Structure 1
Amino acid sequence: MKKLFSAILMVVFAVGIHAQSRLENAQKLALENKELILLNFSGSDWCIPCIKLHKNIIESDEFKKLETENVVVYINADFPRNKKNQLSPELKKENALLADQYNKKGLFPYTLLLNPEGKILKSWEGLPAENASAFSKEIRDIKENQK
């Protein structure tokens, strides 16, 4: 009985450690480095505006500088449909929890700029009208105004 109880405790403890979400990790990192968090909800294999957002903005050098220069921590909450692109059950669950908290309408793409406490500073519904440079500049300006 003791062994069974010990095994159950170990599993619960392991799940508890793993349950720490990307958002919680991003919040800690953002707080330490005085960064903002960019949370993007996407359908990477079915949502054309999502695909364009990633190709034209997220994968751009201008956006990558935001990450390397400690301006933002980026989180992608992806909801692929194709079987070959499916995420792990843990990641699916985490993305669903993020959607429950921040994307109740189920918009795609939907991008949020958050402070380290998780407060929404700016949101973009759909594909942002800005190009990568303007998008990145807007984020930098918001960060500067947070000081």
Structure 2
Amino acid sequence: MKKLFITLLLVVSSMTIQAQEKLTWHTNIDEAIAVSKTENKPLFLFFTGSDWCGWCIRLQNEVFKTPEFIAWAKENVVLVELDFPRRTPQSDALKIQNSQLQQFFAIRGYPSVRIAKAGAPVDGKTSFELLGETGYVAGGPTVWLDGANKMVAKFVPYTAEEQKTAKKATKKKKSTKKKA
């Protein structure tokens, strides 16, 4: 009976630890850019078909849901999920945003990951500096993260002025939301 209780306790505590290890995946690119500049980290853009793409689901299970990736992501990038589902409803604004980014980054298949730095707006549109691209890579989190680290190493930190502007924009959006 003691062994059963101890085993049950270990299972429950490991589930609790995994539940605490959640990542924040942004879906709004403007909010993600503000966080990227504030935290001085590149954007990790994950183009996926979450409810139909088998390789996307496999990448998530084999890499993105592992403790190694979770720790790496929290330290190194701002996560953005750009989803193209077939059955899950999305707002028109989200569909338009994701489609525009898909075209900009010339996404031809799923899963696709782009690591990028947001640049200054050009003609009212955000520009991006591509640091690297990848998709599904066999070999688990160690192999996948080795490639991702090479891309993140190309990231040149934002200037103090860019960070300051992003912080002001974030504060302004928060105060606008409170008024609404």
Normalising by structure 2, what TM-score?
0.59
CA RMSD of aligned residues (A): 2.1
SS across alignment from 1:119: strand
1 or 2 for the larger relative contact order (CA 8 Å, sep ≥6)? Answer: 1
Deviation per CA, 1:55-78: give whole Å up to 9, x if none: 111222222113322x10111111
Alignment CA distance shift 1:99-1:142 (3 Å): closer
Alignment CA distance shift 1:130-1:115 (3 Å): farther
Q: Say whether residues 1:123 and 2:133 are aligned partners.
A: yes
Contact in 2 for aligned 1:36/1:72 (Cα 8 Å): yes
Alignment CA distance shift 1:146-1:102 (3 Å): closer
- Give the Cα separation in 1 of the matches to 2:153 and 2:112: 23
Contact in 2 for aligned 1:35/1:73 (Cα 8 Å): yes
Report the counterpart of residue 106 of structure 1 in structure 2: 108
SS across alignment from 1:115: strand
Question: Which entry has the higher C-alpha Rg, 1 or 2?
Answer: 2
Report the counterpart of residue 80 of structure 1 in structure 2: 85
Contact in 2 for aligned 1:36/1:115 (Cα 8 Å): yes
Contact in 2 for aligned 1:41/1:110 (Cα 8 Å): yes
Contact in 1 for aligned 2:49/2:83 (Cα 8 Å): yes
Normalising by structure 1, what TM-score?
0.71
Alignment CA distance shift 1:111-1:143 (3 Å): closer
Q: Say whether residues 1:65 and 2:89 are aligned partners.
A: no
1:130 positional shift: 4.3
Contact in 2 for aligned 1:35/1:116 (Cα 8 Å): no
- Give the Cα separation in 1 of the matches to 2:141 and 2:39: 23
Out of 41, 44, 61, the position equivalent to 1:38 is 44
- Give the Cα separation in 1 of the matches to 2:30 and 2:139: 29
- Give the Cα separation in 2 of the matches to 1:66 and 1:74: 11
Report the counterpart of residue 23 of structure 1 in structure 2: 29
- Give the Cα separation in 2 of the matches to 1:142 and 1:107: 20
Contact in 1 for aligned 2:28/2:94 (Cα 8 Å): no
After the TM superposition, which segments of 4 or more aligned residues of structure 1 sit over 4 Å from their partners? none
